[in-house]
């Protein structure tokens, strides 16, 4: 049979369960795809071929014994390079951690290993998750499988491109201001930011601790729900982890029904600055929801106008605190230590050469925002705006079960196009940032293509702990899109050298 690289992860799992393909064969097929396409896409920073094949062989043994650990046992997965992994480097896309191998696994990684998933390797990302294009990585940019001259989004462009290019059926991402959802939108993949505290942050290298949230990156809604269920739930190692079970996510993904659901269209997300194609696909998807029996109303959230400014004070401030640990003393890069320099000089030289331009920009902003005399004026004011954003959400969810908007104002832009204009880059996360400030659940789902053949995503936002509503809406949109023309990925041409057959 043709190796099912393009099949959804849950279908790959079914083929494993029936014995039509082995985990070793499936893993080898993905490793061949990585070997063929990674030189072009620069998706993986590290590939653990031996470890993956060993894990796959163990999965096959469990299947033969009738003892699979989970529905996804034996299915390959890629891991964003800010998750700690035993036996594999964790660099966060930065020279500061080049070659560093953690002594422990992140909780999420542990749970995936326990569920029997096969870890292929670590994916590229913007340095310490600072970026919207995966161009700030110290190890070169990742390219979008839909058009290799365009960005795959960021900071988790590596995970999104891995899934979109069929180098992996599943991937882990982390979302601080849109780093799962925005890459999902521009690569035609499903990207979910769970409720803050719904998935453990333990072992995820911190960027902004009150905003960071791990989540799934997949090709279908059901795949995302299954991966979310495998990775989520309470973790006593994470003080912000929510001590209650996850809702029934996979069941919600299988419903394909939105009748009776109250859907709010966020008034502030549209108009000037939004691509006409993005707005057209979004309007069509809202029509699908209305025709499917949902009640659609317009909702105004006036504080969202200030969310971007507040985020770019809160995030750099927390970043400044978190990255202070990279001091050339305890671990990571160490430069300038020639025996004559004092520790302050060594730290200064190491940080000066180890951090990239965008990292330095944000560190300077964050340190300034926390400095004496400016803390209340900047950081304190931003936290007040954060409260207003959360209140806007609370008021909106009194009227609506979910909110919807475009995921990002534009389709994938060209590599290098916004590198000299930080504000243009930051605006890629205009629609996604409010959910991080408020801590609620949100996701991006594919809803079609632009006139140029590039993916467009729709964002669904749910109240905290109502993650199942994301999957209910996403499952409906996906089913409707398939009725119109098949799965979104089927509309893309395989890249030269690809082992996948669309």
Active site residue ranges: 80, 155, 179
Q: Which residues pair with 362 in a beta bridge?
A: none
* Contact predicate 189/123, CB 8 Å: no
CB atoms within 10 A of CB 12: 27
Buried b (16+ CB within 10 A) or exposed e, 387-400: ebbbebbeebbeeb
* Contact predicate 41/497, CB 8 Å: no
* Contact predicate 475/10, CB 8 Å: no
Rounded Cα distance between 322 and 326, Å, is 9
Place of tokens 């542990």: 110
Rounded Cα distance between 9 and 304, Å, is 36
Phi, psi angles (nearest 5°) of residue 445 = -125, 140
CA angle 437, 81, 433 (to 5 degrees): 15
* Contact predicate 437/387, CB 8 Å: no
What the block records as the tokens of 441 is 């659940």
Rounded Cα distance between 373 and 246, Å, is 43
Phi, psi angles (nearest 5°) of residue 457 = -115, 150
Rounded Cα distance between 496 and 228, Å, is 32
For residue 419, give Cα distances in angstroms to 273, 275, 379, 427.
Answer: 18, 20, 26, 13
CA atoms within 13 A on the CB side of 240: 15
């Amino acid at each position: 049979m043709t190796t099912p690289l393009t099949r959804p992860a849950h279908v790959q799992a079914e083929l494993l369960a029936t014995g039509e393909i082995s985990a070793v064969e499936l893993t080898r097929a993905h490793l061949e795809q990585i070997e063929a396409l990674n030189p072009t896409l620069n998706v993986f920073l590290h590939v653990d071929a031996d470890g993956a094949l060993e894990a796959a062989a163990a999965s096959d043994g469990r299947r033969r014994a009738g003892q699979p650990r989970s529905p996804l046992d034996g299915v390959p997965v890629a891991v964003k390079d800010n998750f700690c992994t035993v036996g594999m480097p964790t660099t966060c896309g930065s020279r500061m951690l080049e070659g560093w191998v953690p002594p422990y696994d992140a909780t999420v990684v542990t749970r995936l290993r326990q569920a029997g998933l096969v870890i292929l390797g670590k994916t590229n990302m913007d340095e310490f998750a600072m970026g919207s294009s995966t161009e700030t990585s110290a190890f070169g940019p990742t390219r979008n499988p839909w058009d290799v001259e365009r960005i795959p989004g960021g900071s988790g462009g590596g995970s999104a491109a891995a899934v979109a290019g069929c180098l992996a059926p599943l991937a882990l991402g982390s979302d601080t201001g849109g780093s799962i959802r925005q890459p999902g939108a521009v690569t035609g993949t499903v990207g979910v930011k769970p409720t803050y505290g719904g998935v453990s942050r333990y072992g995820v290298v911190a960027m902004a601790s009150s905003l960071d949230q791990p989540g799934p990156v997949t090709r279908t809604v059901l795949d995302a729900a299954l991966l979310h269920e495998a990775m989520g739930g309470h973790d006593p190692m994470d003080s912000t982890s929510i001590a209650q079970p996850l809702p029934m996510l996979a069941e919600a993904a299988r419903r394909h029904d939105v009748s009776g659901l109250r859907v709010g269209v966020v008034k502030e997300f549209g108009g000037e600055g939004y691509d006409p194609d993005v707005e057209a696909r979004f309007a069509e998807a809202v029509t699908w929801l209305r025709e499917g029996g949902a009640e659609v109303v317009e909702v105004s959230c006036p504080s969202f106008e200030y969310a971007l400014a507040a985020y770019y004070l809160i995030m750099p401030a927390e970043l400044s605190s978190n990255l202070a640990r990279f001091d050339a003393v305890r671990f990571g890069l160490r430069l300038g230590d020639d025996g004559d320099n004092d520790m302050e000089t060594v730290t200064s030289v190491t940080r000066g050469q180890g951090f990239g331009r965008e990292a330095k920009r944000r560190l300077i902003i964050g340190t300034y925002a926390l400095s004496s005399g400016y803390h209340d004026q900047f950081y304190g004011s931003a936290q007040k705006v954060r409260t207003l954003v959360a209140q806007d959400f609370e008021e909106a969810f009194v009227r609506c079960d979910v909110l919807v908007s475009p995921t990002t104002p534009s389709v994938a832009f060209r590599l290098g196009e916004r590198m000299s204009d930080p504000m243009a880059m930051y605006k890629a996360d205009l629609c996604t940032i409010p959910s991080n400030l408020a801590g609620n659940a949100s996701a991006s789902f594919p809803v079609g293509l632009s006139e140029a053949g590039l993916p467009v995503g729709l964002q669904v936002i749910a109240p905290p702990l109502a993650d199942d509503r994301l999957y209910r809406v996403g499952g409906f949109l996906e089913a409707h899109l398939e009725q119109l023309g098949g799965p979104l990925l089927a509309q893309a041409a395989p890249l030269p050298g690809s082992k996948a057959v669309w």
